[in-house]
Amino acid sequence: MQKPASEKLTAKAKERPSPAPAKYDFMVVSNRLPVDRCSAEDAANDGDGWRRSPGGLVTALAPLMAKSDGAWVGWHGAPDEAVEPFSHDDMDLVPVQLSADDVELYYEGFSNATLWPLYHDVIATPEFHRTWWDAYRRVNQRFADAVVQSADKNATIWVQDYQLQLVPQMLRRVRPDLKIGFFNHIPFPPPEIFAQLPWRQAILEGLLGSDLVGFQRPSDAANFMRSARRFLGASVKQQQVQVRDSSGEVTHIARAQAFPISIAVDQISELAERPDIVERARQIRQDLGNPRTILLGVDRLDYTKGIRHRLKAFEELLQDGSLKVTDATLIQVASPSRERVEQYRILREEIEGTVGHINGTYDTMQNTAVRYLHHSYPVEEMVALYLAADVMLVTALRDGMNLVAKEYVAARTNHTGALVLSEFTGAADQLKQALLVNPHDIDGLKNTIMRAVDLPANESRRRMRTMRKQILDHDVDHWSSEFLAALAEKVVRDDS
């Protein structure tokens, strides 16, 4: 019996070899691609179906991708869906497929219920499950395989963040020609905490597959090298390790160094000068009844951000009469985060219950104590909020950097306002003129908030001017170019 024409065409297609994948001399590797799916309406308007994701990393690296003819490797965001490599906005994108099980075990499990709490000083208790670890290894290998297929000879590979810590060594094993960098966007814990991880040696070996491992703070780089010395017996000299293979031969030198990430200062500053955004800031104040002081918190809804401590301090200031609801309002933006993870569902209930209690106790018919917003907002609305706020509260219990603090300073082009900043953020290393605080000390936090509320105008200008200069001199372009320049350096081996 003769086969139908459609089957003949299918058979021919199977026999035809697939086109060779494109080769790239620069590749960024991250858990997510720098694009999100558009709504049906937006897709109909632009015909692409994708839009560029917000965020500092995309803003920093997208121009580099275009200039270097590079490619970005990552998951496109939908489980159990295969997407072919495609281009968007002058970027070539190489999707990695994840199943629903991968998302549950590798991402929600090992990445965010094991590594995230462990790396943030065990603020929440990390969970250690072998099935999660197996999925983490399997998915990391899938990302590494995608790079190997598309990387040109002697290409530069820049791996991003804690979800992909095994990728550098996986690449090194099969492609020693590659120049491999890794950047850890979250803190790296001291050895005494890292010791709890059952797979600590494998993680360290994975990271040491890099030529350069970047961290937000010098203390994070030091913690990493201390762990390498303690758990691998590595010989560390001047933040460098001579990495050896199983036969004892030195394969390469791995370095650890701090490269504090920053923001697109020009973008924030330009938005802050736009008349429609200035008008929106005025409208926000008016909608709140034009209080004398607006305090602002902007966070992902995460237990590391210190939102509960901030609300407790604000409630006690209302309780003891230091602040009055007729004069002061707290706007708390808490964007949704990891809502399928149990700890985050519990946190949301606690935060919303606390806000309800404060407002039920202190609201009047005209005034609201806490305006709670469980949404994500476009950058234009965020800049309007920065302009409307007299005091920015960044009270994270542990944070790799915290770019919100830098965005607030960048938006205050007239050098007004006050920044209350946790000393446990990476931003505290650069923004030394902020009002630094230990968020665990509620009395100290209350005193610092009141100091910010009553800060004299001349002192506010002096502090804000100094902080803005620091950010202008060290924007996100400076961060990426400094890292890549350090990665490209030729390292001289010291066998002494």
Residues 460-489: tens digit of each pLDDT = 999 999 999 999 999 999 999 999 999 999
**Mean of the per-residue pLDDT values for the chain?**
92
Query: Could you tell me which residue, 54 or 197, shows the higher pLDDT?
Result: 197
Which domain covers residue 202, as residue numbers? 24-258
Mean pLDDT of 370-395: 96
3-state secondary structure of 243: strand
Report if residue 297 sits inside a domain: yes
Name the band, by pLDDT with cuts 50, 70 and 90, for residue 39.
low
pLDDT of the residue at 9: 35
Residue 256, CA distances (Å) to 94, 120, 229 in order: 28, 19, 13
Mean pLDDT of 189-194: 98
Name the band, by pLDDT with cuts 50, 70 and 90, for residue 69.
confident
Residue 328 pLDDT exceeds 80: yes
Residues 251 and 338 placed together within one structural domain of the fold: no
- Confirm if 82 and 111 have CB atoms less than 8 A apart: no
Mean pLDDT of 258-282: 96
Residues 306 and 371 placed together within one structural domain of the fold: yes
Token pair in block for residue 409: 């300073």
Candidates 163, 202, 203, 168; CA nearest to 74 is 163
Mean pLDDT of 30-48: 72
Burial class (CB in 10 A: 0-12, 13-18, 19+), 213: buried
Token pair in block for residue 166: 């095994």
pLDDT of the residue at 253: 95
Residues 375 and 316 placed together within one structural domain of the fold: yes
Residue 49 pLDDT exceeds 90: no
Residue 2 pLDDT exceeds 90: no
Instruction: Point out the least confidently predicted range of 167-171, 273-277, 339-343, 456-460.
Output: 339-343
pLDDT of the residue at 495: 59
Residues 248 and 291 placed together within one structural domain of the fold: no
pLDDT of the residue at 40: 57
Residues 237 and 98 placed together within one structural domain of the fold: yes
CA 132, CA 213: separation in Å to the nearest integer? 24
Mean pLDDT of 48-71: 80
Name the band, by pLDDT with cuts 50, 70 and 90, for residue 46.
low
Name the band, by pLDDT with cuts 50, 70 and 90, for residue 41.
low
- Confirm if 213 and 227 have CB atoms less than 8 A apart: no
- Confirm if 391 and 416 have CB atoms less than 8 A apart: no
Residues 438 and 454 placed together within one structural domain of the fold: yes
pLDDT of the residue at 47: 55
Token pair in block for residue 375: 């949404």
CA 404, CA 392: separation in Å to the nearest integer? 9
Beta bridge partners of 244: 250
Would you give the DSSP letter of residue 211? S
CA 257, CA 426: separation in Å to the nearest integer? 14
Query: Which is it for strands 391-394 and 236-237: parallel, antiparallel or unpaired?
Result: unpaired
Residue 326 pLDDT exceeds 50: yes
- Confirm if 227 and 204 have CB atoms less than 8 A apart: yes
Provide the CATH number for the domain around residue 119: 3.40.50.2000
Residue 491 pLDDT exceeds 80: no
pLDDT of the residue at 201: 98
Look up the pTM and report it.
0.92
Residues 246 and 302 placed together within one structural domain of the fold: no
Residues 216 and 300 placed together within one structural domain of the fold: no
CA 297, CA 299: separation in Å to the nearest integer? 7
Report if residue 168 sits inside a domain: yes
Query: What pLDDT, in 10s, does the model give residues 283-325?
Result: 999 999 999 999 999 999 999 999 999 999 999 999 999 999 9
Query: What pLDDT, in 10s, does the model give residues 425-458?
Result: 999 999 999 999 999 999 999 999 999 999 999 9
pLDDT of the residue at 117: 96
Residues 226 and 351 placed together within one structural domain of the fold: no
Report if residue 486 sits inside a domain: no
Instruction: Point out the least confidently predicted range of 116-120, 233-237, 463-467.
Output: 233-237
Residues 71 and 113 placed together within one structural domain of the fold: yes
Contacts of 72 (CB under 8 A, 6+ apart): 27, 28, 29, 30, 33, 34, 61, 65, 91, 92, 93, 94
Report if residue 487 sits inside a domain: no
CA 259, CA 496: separation in Å to the nearest integer? 28
Q: Torsion over CA of 191, 197, 202 and 205, rounded to 10 degrees?
A: -20
Domain final residue pick, 233, 258, 283:
258
Report if residue 90 sits inside a domain: yes
Name the band, by pLDDT with cuts 50, 70 and 90, for residue 64.
confident
Instruction: Point out the least confidently predicted range of 40-44, 148-152, 184-188.
Output: 40-44
Contacts of 191 (CB under 8 A, 6+ apart): 223, 226, 227, 230, 231
Strand ranges, E, within 125-174: 151-160
Residues 249 and 291 placed together within one structural domain of the fold: no
Would you give the DSSP letter of residue 124? S
Report if residue 99 sits inside a domain: yes
- Confirm if 78 and 101 have CB atoms less than 8 A apart: no
pLDDT of the residue at 341: 79
pLDDT of the residue at 338: 84
pLDDT of the residue at 10: 41
Residues 328 and 253 placed together within one structural domain of the fold: no
Report if residue 237 sits inside a domain: yes
Report if residue 169 sits inside a domain: yes
Token pair in block for residue 422: 């946790």
CA 387, CA 281: separation in Å to the nearest integer? 6
Name the band, by pLDDT with cuts 50, 70 and 90, for residue 490.
confident
The tally of domains found in the chain comes to 2
pLDDT of the residue at 42: 55
Query: Which is it for strands 250-258 and 240-244: parallel, antiparallel or unpaired?
Result: antiparallel
Q: What percent of the chain has pLDDT over 90?
A: 82
Residue 12 pLDDT exceeds 70: no
Query: What pLDDT, in 10s, does the model give residues 199-230?
Result: 999 999 999 999 999 999 999 999 999 999 99
Residue 392, CA distances (Å) to 292, 310, 330, 389 in order: 15, 11, 10, 7
